[in-house]
Structure 1
Amino acid sequence: MIGRPEKQRVVLRGMGLTKMQKTIQLPDTPQIRGMLNKVQHLVRVEE
């Protein structure tokens, strides 16, 4: 998250991603999809 714009860091923290290589499970909601869309170049999504 170092060197990333503040908006992207806020989105990542809001999703619970605070460290690299961290894995989380989130519900499939429109809000989460919107957050993922904003940081899609920083995360990997698996269903």
Structure 2
Amino acid sequence: MANSKTIKVRLVKGLRGTQSRHRLSVKALGLNKLNDVRELKDSPSVRGLINQVYYLVQVEE
């Protein structure tokens, strides 16, 4: 697998007061609690979810 890059995504801000679509995006990334970290495959769909909730998450390459 030549393109098997992964990225770490951390939830750094709580979900209170956010749009329901953004809460669903965070859930789709697999993040539940504050400071949860998931290592995800770097793909356009994952990048799209991250871009939608950029103000709630921190990304480490």
Which bin holds the TM-score, normalised by the shorter protein? Answer: over 0.9
Deviations 1:3-44 (A, max 9, x none): 111010000001101110101100000000000000011100
Structure number with the higher helix fraction is 1
Structure with greater strand percent: 2
Which structure's CA Rg is the greater one? 2
Shift >3 Å, 4+ stretches: none
Identity %: 36
Find out whether 1:3 has 2:17 as its counterpart.
Answer: yes
State how many pairs are aligned.
Answer: 47
Gaps of 5+ in 2: 1-14
Query: Unaligned stretches of 5+ in structure 1?
Result: none
Counterpart selection for 2:46 from 32, 35, 39: 32
Q: TM-score, normalised by structure 2?
A: 0.74
**Distance of 1:11 and 1:37 partners within structure 2:** 10
RMSD: 0.6
